[in-house]
Structure formats: structure tokens, C-alpha cells
A and B are shown apart, each in its own frame.
Chain A
Amino acid sequence: MSILRYAIDRILQTIPVLIGVSLITFLFINALPGDVISALYADQALGEESIRALEERHGLNESFFERYLSFMAGILQGDLGYSIHYETSVTSLVLTRAGPTLMLTLSAFAFAIVTAIPLGAIAASRRNQSPDHLSRIVALFGVSTPSFWVGIMLIVIFAVTLGWLPSGGLVYPWRAPGHYGFDSQLELYVQTVQSLLLPMIALGTMQMAMLMRIERSEMVETLQRDYIQLARAYGVSERTILRKHAFREAQLPIITIVGLNISTALGGSVVIEQVFDINGIGKLLLSAIELRDFQVVTGITLVLAAIFVIGVVITDIAYAYIDPRITLDGGE
């Protein structure tokens, strides 16, 4: 019955999935052509000897299975391996690059939720009237437009043409203002928001559109329930019906969808980081692939899968917590 117990159960269920992910990526990456040594020292003519020495140092001469086992042993201690190119541990590499990616994806979700829920609810309550048609058109465009193109268009309009906002890069709020040559903490925050605005919208538009459609259809369905008609029959105003009676049940599916969309958003941030030149995990992944730094690629893939899987677990728990009909024992 306790939430904790339920949470632990759900987390344990994710372990086979994560092992599967690690195995698959490890397999892929290790079969990739070209190796990191020659990619790294492409400009130097290395002798057989020194190549072998380097391989030995990085454990590249061991068998696939041995390497996988030692990789997994490392993971259990929070060690994602060693990046040969960056000459640092993958864990610390991922941690330093996680900030911008999290900033981007979380703000994109916030933007999507804050806009989609009221718009979807209004559309549902004014079904087949102009607000509804408008929101449906917006949602349709949203789900049909590639986020990277939205990003490019936003840059062309707001950065290049109007010059209102920066065309790329992120200002990190955790840095000292002096790092960017700003005078005050406030200026730093203002710049952070300004630099985040366009990538956030670019990444969040599709999420917004998806959530808006679901919000609308859930709300339409909820508004047709008997208990809504009953509330009307007891003289409850339409406003209260929308805000109190219909709202809560209609939000339950949204929670699930947000959880499932974490994966899409993380994938999307790879592209958006490229468009806006943001040094996040996505950019790290692309350059690691280019450099054949397979430890980094495996580490990132695993981290992204873990974020998604844990995100789904968290939304499951949140759902169970909010919906009184679900008891945590498993039965109804």
C-alpha cells in the first residue's frame, strides 16, 4: 500500500530494460568501424607498438564480453567508463553537459504544459466554435512541423531579422555574472531567459501540440459525463464545472503522456542543441560518434534511456497518487 513500496517495485522492473539497452548499445558501438585510437591520432603516424600500448592502456585488447562485464561493473559504481578523446571519466563529462540539456527539455515541457492545458480546455468547452477551430489548427501545425525547422525559422525571424533575441548559445544561470561580463545577477537571469526562449519554443512546440490534442479530447469526453450534467443540474456555473469538476479527471492521461514524451523530447534536444549551438548531451553525443569515442556514446545512450525509464516510473507513481481509484496493491 505504501507509495515507497510501489515505487521500489516499479524501479526494479526497469532494470532488465536498462540492461538490455546497455547490451544493445555496447554491441552496436563495439562493432562500429574505425577505432578511437586511429581517429584520435589521425595526424600522427603511430607505430604498431604504440598503438598496442594505447589499446592496452584503454583495455581495447580484451574480448567483447570482458569489456562489457567491466563496463557493467563500473556502472554499478556510477562509473560510465573513460573517454579516450576527452581524457576524463564519462560520468563527469555527462554531468557537466547535462545542465544545458535538462534546462532545455524541462523548460520545453513547462512551456508545453502551461500553454497546452488552458488552450485545450478552452477548445473543449467551446467545441466547434472558433477557439476550438483555431486551437486545432495550431495543434495540427505543431505536430506536423519539424522542431529544427521551427528553430531555424525562429532564429531567422527573431534573431536575424528583428534582432530581439540571440541566435544561439545558452547563458547558464549557475555561472558567475562576471563570466559573461554582466554586471549583476539580474542581468545574468534576464540573459538566461532570453537565450533559452527560442530553443525552448522550438523544442516545446511539438509537445505543446500533442498535449493540446489530448487535453482537448480528454476534456470533451469528461464534459459529457453524467457527473458533469449532474453538477449543471445543481446549478454549478460552467466556469466551476470546467475548473473543478471536469479538470481533474481530464488531467490524468496528460500525466502519462508527459512521461512517454520524455523520450521524444530528449531525442529532439539532440537536434535543437545543434540548431542553437548549445553544449548539451546531444551535441556531446554527436561529436562522440564522429570521434568514435564509444564509451561516451554508450554512456549517453544509457543515461538517456535511464532518464526516460525513470521518468515513466515517476509519472506512474504520480498518477497512482493523484487518482483515488488506483490502490497501490495492484488490484482495484
Chain B
Amino acid sequence: MATNEAQVEQDETAVSGQEVGLSHQLKQIKRDITARIGLYIVVLVTFVAGFSWFDANLGTITFGYVSDYTLAQAAPLLEHPERLPPPTDMNAHAPPAFVEGGTWEHPLGTDHEGRDYLSRIVYGTRISVMVGFAATAIGLVGGVAIGATAGYYGGRVDDLLMRFVEIIFAIPALVLIIVFTEFVSGGNPDIQYAVAGAGIASIPIFSRIMRSRVLSVREMEYIEAARSAGVKDRHIIIRHVIPNSFASVLVYATLQVGVVILLVASLSFLGYGAQPPTPDWGQMLSYAHGQMHSNPWMSVFPGLAILVTIMGFNLLGDGLQDALNPRIDN
């Protein structure tokens, strides 16, 4: 009896059909409180990211606290570390305001160079969101192309492409990206290489989903009809097969944003992603790791920022998934 409601829901999905998949999902999201929280977090994080981007270009002030380095300023400095100004010791490692000795001038304290920690975390949002979207986009485009081709043509093409995907999948993503980053960057790892690597590591999941969707769509009558009417394969894939699989791919894309943010944060932590002085959360944690004993608070906030961001994407992705497939939870 517990599925009573799900049953009603399913009937309705059956009536309305898959064509309205996306709007149906959005309607469901409105009703699902946890998914709504996820949506709010994603919107907020994206807004903060966009806002600090705008701000960084104008070189003005964020929340009243200046960050010494924006990404644009940092890039040339990276190549000439000797031009970095000496650490401003007097202000370094100031504790957060709510810890003894802290002031509200720096609510979360300052780092080892006296830079405001809160500002850096806010800037970090931009990097994480960009990383998440960019890497997912790479994985999505690559995966959808591979999966659609493999599923549509089948046979040899399918075998070859899916073997390739299996090979990528067999190497632990983190290891794959580190090796890739070293290879591409010529021994000078940086965030953009990590993003590209995370994108490649995301290809297997998207190609698998896409392939299985295509396999089911391929057999549908209207595809048959299009094919017998002499429509070109590429046209059929792009116009019919891919749009039809869009809803389920979108769900995984949302979840994958969280996964790649996590991956790239780990990379930055290990020194194979963002480099100092870029205010990246993983990179900040890398430094904070060495400060666990003397300044434990430094580890807390970048990690919380990662947690909240990823949680937003996970909640939203779960909500979309429930909406797409109401079989389990209602």
C-alpha cells in the first residue's frame, strides 16, 4: 500500500509522457523541500561566484575586505615567484573573530600572508563553481558524443569506444588526473589542467548513461521511421536521440558537478590543481594541513565551503532524479 501515491504519480507520468520530462521535473522540485534547498544553495553559490568575478575585474572590495590577489593578478606572479611581496607578518595567522584574540575586521581571521580568510573563501566559490561546471561540461560533451555514437552504431564502433571508456574507468580518477596533469602541463600543474583531467575522468559515466539511453531510444518507432525515410544518421542522433535522453543526462550532470568539485579539491590539496596564491579551497586546505597543530581553525572553513557547495548540487541532483523516477520515494 505504501506505493499508493507513487502509483498515482506514475500513472500521471505515463499520461503526460516523456516529452515534458524537464518541466515535469521542475514541478516536482517545487514540491520536494530538500530538492528546493539544493536549488537555493546552487543558485546562491553561483550568484556569489558571479558576483566575486565581477568584483575581481573591477578590483574593488568584497564584503569590505580586500583580497590581495585575484586570479587575474595572480597568473603573472606565478611565473615569477620572486616578485611576490614578502609576507606581511604582523597580520598573519590572525584567529577568527569568535576565537580569543580575533577581531571583526577579519571575521574568519587571516592566512599566513595576512590576507583576509573570509574574502579568500568567497573568491574560492568562483573557482569551485567554474571548476564544477567546466569539468562537467567537458565530460558531458565527450561522454554524450561517445555514448551516442557507440549506442547508435553498435557493433565494432560500440566495442571499440566502450573498451576505451572502460580503460579510462579502470584507472582511479585521481591517479588518472594527476598523470594527465603532469603530462599536459609539462610539470607545472595548475587548475586548468586539473579541470580538463576531471572532465576526461567524467567521460565514462556520461557515455554509459548516454549509451544505454540511446539503446532504448534507438528501437522506438519514430527513429525507425526517420531512418527508413532516408534521414542521415548524424541528423537522427542530434535531432532525436540526444534530446530524448536529455533529462536523465541532466540529472547525472548535476550530481557530477559535485563529484568533480570534490576531485579537483583533492587535486589542489595534493598540489596538482590550483597553485598558491590562488584562493582555491583545496589549495587553502593544503596549507592548513600543515597548520593543524598551531592554527586548527584554518582547516575548518574552506572544508565547510566545499561541503555546502557539493551538498547543494547533490540535493538538487537527487531531487531531479526522484522527479524523473518516482518509483522509490514520493
Q: Is the beta-carbon distance between B265 and A29 smaller than 8 angstroms?
A: no
Question: How far is it, in angstroms, between the C-alpha of A1 and the C-alpha of B3 when the chains are bound?
Answer: 39
Q: Is the beta-carbon distance between A148 and B163 smaller than 8 angstroms?
A: no
Q: Is B296 an interface residue (CB 8 A)?
A: yes
Given A153-B299, A224-B3: A289 touches B172 (CB 8 Å cut-off): no
**Interface residues in A115-151 (C-beta closer than 8 Å to B):** 127, 140-141, 143-149
Question: How far is it, in angstroms, between the C-alpha of A33 and the C-alpha of B193 when the chains are bound?
Answer: 15
Which secondary structure dominates where chain A touches chain B? helix
**Which residues of A have CB within 8 Å of B289?**
148, 152, 275
Q: Is the beta-carbon distance between A160 and B296 smaller than 8 angstroms?
A: yes
Given A25-B179, A149-B303, A160-B293: A304 touches B171 (CB 8 Å cut-off): yes
CB distance from A290 to the nearest CB of B (A): 9
Q: Is the beta-carbon distance between A156 and B299 smaller than 8 angstroms?
A: yes
A-B contact count (CB 8 A): 142
From the candidates B2, B173, B300, B328, name the one contacting A217 in the complex (CB within 8 A).
B328
Q: Is A212 an interface residue (CB 8 A)?
A: no
From the candidates A149, A224, A301, name the one contacting B175 in the complex (CB within 8 A).
A301
Question: How far is it, in angstroms, between the C-alpha of A16 and the C-alpha of B162 when the chains are bound?
Answer: 12
Most buried by B among A17, A143, A146, A267: A146
Question: How far is it, in angstroms, between the C-alpha of A34 and the C-alpha of B188 when the chains are bound?
Answer: 11
Q: Is B169 an interface residue (CB 8 A)?
A: yes
Most buried by B among A24, A141, A275, A308: A24
Over the window 194-216 of chain A, the binary record of Cβ atoms lying under 8 Å from chain B Cβ atoms (1 yes, 0 no) is 00000000000000000000000
From the candidates B187, B300, B311, name the one contacting A32 in the complex (CB within 8 A).
B187
Given A25-B179, A308-B170: A33 touches B187 (CB 8 Å cut-off): yes
Q: Is A21 an interface residue (CB 8 A)?
A: yes
CB distance from A70 to the nearest CB of B (A): 21
Q: Is the beta-carbon distance between A144 and B175 smaller than 8 angstroms?
A: no
Question: How far is it, in angstroms, between the C-alpha of A309 and the C-alpha of B282 when the chains are bound?
Answer: 30
Q: Is the beta-carbon distance between B292 and A152 smaller than 8 angstroms?
A: yes
Given A32-B182, A152-B303: A267 touches B175 (CB 8 Å cut-off): yes
CB distance from B46 to the nearest CB of A (A): 17
Given A127-B2, A149-B303, A275-B289: A17 touches B170 (CB 8 Å cut-off): yes
Q: Which residue of A lies closest to B296 (CB)?
A: A156
Q: Is the beta-carbon distance between A167 and B285 smaller than 8 angstroms?
A: no
**Which residues of A have CB within 8 Å of B292?**
152, 155-156, 160, 167
* Number of residues on chain A facing chain B (CB within 8 A): 54
Given A20-B163, A32-B187, A270-B270: A153 touches B171 (CB 8 Å cut-off): no
Question: How far is it, in angstroms, between the C-alpha of A144 and the C-alpha of B289 when the chains are bound?
Answer: 20
Q: Is the beta-carbon distance between A145 and B307 smaller than 8 angstroms?
A: yes
CB distance from B261 to the nearest CB of A (A): 9
CB distance from A220 to the nearest CB of B (A): 6
Q: Is the beta-carbon distance between A149 and B166 smaller than 8 angstroms?
A: no
Q: Is A28 an interface residue (CB 8 A)?
A: yes
**Which residues of B have CB within 8 Å of A223?**
2
**Which residues of B have CB within 8 Å of A263?**
169-173
Over the window 31-47 of chain A, the binary record of Cβ atoms lying under 8 Å from chain B Cβ atoms (1 yes, 0 no) is 11110000000000000
Q: Which residue of A lies closest to B306 (CB)?
A: A146
Q: Which residue of B lies closest to A22 (CB)?
A: B167
Q: Is the beta-carbon distance between A16 and B163 smaller than 8 angstroms?
A: yes
Question: How far is it, in angstroms, between the C-alpha of A285 and the C-alpha of B178 when the chains are bound?
Answer: 10
Over the window 53-87 of chain B, the binary record of Cβ atoms lying under 8 Å from chain A Cβ atoms (1 yes, 0 no) is 00000000000000000000000000000000000
From the candidates B170, B174, B178, B266, name the one contacting A21 in the complex (CB within 8 A).
B170
Q: Which residue of B lies closest to A25 (CB)?
A: B179
CB distance from A282 to the nearest CB of B (A): 9
Question: How far is it, in angstroms, between the C-alpha of A149 and the C-alpha of B309 when the chains are bound?
Answer: 14
Q: Is the beta-carbon distance between A264 and B288 smaller than 8 angstroms?
A: no
Q: Is A187 an interface residue (CB 8 A)?
A: no
Per CB-CB distance, the 8 closest pairs between chain A and chain B, nearest first, are A267-B172, A149-B303, A267-B174, A20-B167, A144-B311, A144-B310, A305-B170, A33-B186
Listed by A's residue number, 18 A-B pairs whose Cβ atoms lie within 8 Å are A20-B163, A21-B170, A24-B171, A28-B182, A127-B2, A146-B265, A146-B266, A148-B266, A153-B299, A156-B296, A220-B329, A221-B327, A264-B172, A270-B172, A271-B269, A286-B178, A301-B171, A301-B179
Extra A-B contacts (8), CB below 8 Å, given A145-B310, A152-B299, A267-B175: A143-B310, A145-B303, A149-B299, A152-B289, A155-B292, A224-B2, A263-B169, A271-B266
